Structure formats: C-alpha cells, structure tokens
Amino acid sequence: MVKRIFLTIVTLTVVILMFNLFSKSDKARIDISSEEFKEMLKEERGVIIDVRTQQEYNAGHLADTDHLYDFLNGDFQKAAEEFDPSKTYYLYCRSGNRSGQAARMMQREGFENVYNVGGFDDLARAGFETKK
C-alpha cells in the first residue's frame, strides 16, 4: 500500500514537472525588460507602438515609435485588425499595463511575436532616445 502511494506521488510529480516544462515557451512570453528590448531590436527592428493617449504621446515618446494607437479610446483595437501577424510588435504605454493588455489581446488573436516592453519613463531611463 505504501509503495503504491509513493508511486502515485512520484508519477504526479513527474507529470506536473513535465507540464510546466513543456507549457512554457519563449513565444508565449509577452513581458520583457528594457534590456531584453534593446537586445531584441538588434536582431529584428519590428514595429514599435505607443498605446497611450495623444496627450501622453505629445508630452514625450520614444523617438523610434512607428505608431500611436490609443488603447483607451479603441484606436488600437481597430488598427490591430489590420496588423500583419508575421511581423514583430513592441508595445509600450505609461506603466506597462495598457501595453500588456494590448499584447495579450494580440496573442489571443494568434500573434506570436508581440511584446510588452513596459512604461515610457522606464524606457527613457534605460537610455532609449525620446522626443516631444
């Protein structure tokens, strides 16, 4: 009886470990650090999208920003319908919350190369060029 319980526990442990190991892939990872962002840009420029409001954007944005699509007023959701799923997308906002929501929305729609790079101020402090 003890041997059977032990075998069951070992089997369950192995199953859980295997599930965790194989269910986590780099493609599913969305949130990346500013340092990871810098490294990834060296490999593939991708499309950089600011999902803040026009007012926030006007106060300062990354110099390399390709598009501003306001997540709060629905601009981003409308524009995302036309995005090319084969491209790589880097999204940012003020704190990383809206860009995280936008990135997860894109991932649910089948985009594999979409990343939340966080908040504008953090990116500026990390040395990314900004402009007004």
pLDDT digits (tens, 9 = 90+) for 73-127: 999 999 999 999 999 999 999 999 999 999 999 999 999 999 999 999 999 999 9
Q: What is the pTM assigned to this prediction?
A: 0.79
| 95, burial (CB in 10 Å: exposed 0-12, middle 13-18, buried 19+) | middle
Does residue 5 sit within a domain?
no
Range of the domain at 42: 25-131
Residue 55 lies in a domain: yes
**Does any domain span residue 99?**
yes
d(CA 99, CA 105): 10
Query: Residue 42 is part of a domain; what is its CATH number?
Result: 3.40.250.10
- On whether residue 10 sits in a domain, the answer given is no
31-61 per-position pLDDT tens digit: 999 999 999 999 989 999 999 999 999 999 9
Which two tokens mark 92?
């940012």
